[in-house]
Amino acid sequence: MKKILASVAVLGLLAAFVAPIYAIKLQQAHGPWEAKVQGDGALSGGSLPSYGIDHANLGWNFKANSDNLYNGQLNVVEKDEGGEMLNHYKLYGYQVDTKTYNCDTHEMRVEGFNDEGYRVAAHFRGYRNTSYPNSVWYWVKDGSTYLTNTGARLTLDKPFFVLCNEEKVLMESLDVYANDTNGIDSSTLYDGLNYRFEVSGTAFAGDTIDFDAQYSITNRISGDIWTDSVSGYESYGTGLLDLFVNGNDVQWGAYNDAHEYSMNFMGDGSSVNFMINDTYYPNNTGFLTVDIYAVPQ
């Protein structure tokens, strides 16, 4: 069995999305898409030019509808170490003639000729890129001559996602074992990113008790049903045998026979602990599964 119900509400529950994470939304393979991205800082990698550029700012504010009509623009500003602007290249949405994206690695590349006739390109690498996740590589060429660094990178200041036929992205799957007094910690959740925790399954707590994330049934009691309190142990409160989040009892929603529940959570740059709350763990068996999804907006 478990500890007495905690009365503290879980911190980080989503009330309103206040810090959007970068995401291109593609409802169909070639449907509408949009992105707003920012990278700023010291350049790394590639061949840096000899004329003093070692910092850059790259801004992308861009939308396209299903008719491939674009608005917004790509801005590339190259700076010296002191922050003084040395070069500024713009590429307006209607000038983009190449756009590609990868829904698996969450990457996107755009390029086209700007008003000066330069070829401007940017390659945004998403969080699943195995080499340089959440970064952008850019270049500007006059014919075959590079006007900018070749292959230098900027780190994006937020995670980057490409959503094709999905609205959420599976980030991690955890098994929370019923006999583990400490529970299990997630990976670090990005600050400002909206997550959805989806929990499923049932486990066993001894004394003929089966339970899920919030509800339980004591099978030795004739006619018992799934309830928030543990039948036969009501004095321990409704938090007994619940799946706690960061040590707090949370509401997983109304009971359902599939034993599947969810809640929203705002990442804050730290990990999250999931633990089954009990007072006696040795006779517990089984586990609950928590799938952690990112829900970029």
Reported as a single tens digit per residue, the pLDDT across 174-204 is 999 999 999 999 999 988 888 999 999 999 9
Query: What pLDDT was estimated at residue 198?
Result: 98
Query: Does residue 12 register a pLDDT over 50?
Result: no
Query: What is the pLDDT confidence band of residue 28, given thresholds at 50, 70 and 90?
Result: very low
**Is the CB of residue 284 less than 8 Å from the CB of residue 240?**
no
Query: What is the pLDDT confidence band of residue 42, given thresholds at 50, 70 and 90?
Result: low
Query: Does residue 277 register a pLDDT over 70?
Result: yes
Query: Does residue 40 register a pLDDT over 90?
Result: no
63-111 confidence digits (pLDDT tens): 655 555 566 778 887 777 777 777 888 888 788 888 787 878 888 888 8
Query: Does residue 173 register a pLDDT over 80?
Result: yes
In this structure, which topology does domain 169-294 adopt according to CATH? Jelly Rolls (2.60.120)
Query: What pLDDT was estimated at residue 186?
Result: 98
Query: Does residue 245 register a pLDDT over 90?
Result: yes
Query: What pLDDT was estimated at residue 44?
Result: 56
Query: What pLDDT was estimated at residue 50?
Result: 46
Domain ranges of the chain: 22-158, 169-294
Cα 106–138–20 angle (5° rounding)? 45
Could you tell me what percent of the chain has a pLDDT over 90?
Answer: 43
Residue type, 295: V
The residue among 156, 146, 158, 119 whose CA lies nearest residue 44 is 156
**Least confident piece of the model among 78-87, 122-131, 132-141, 179-188:** 78-87
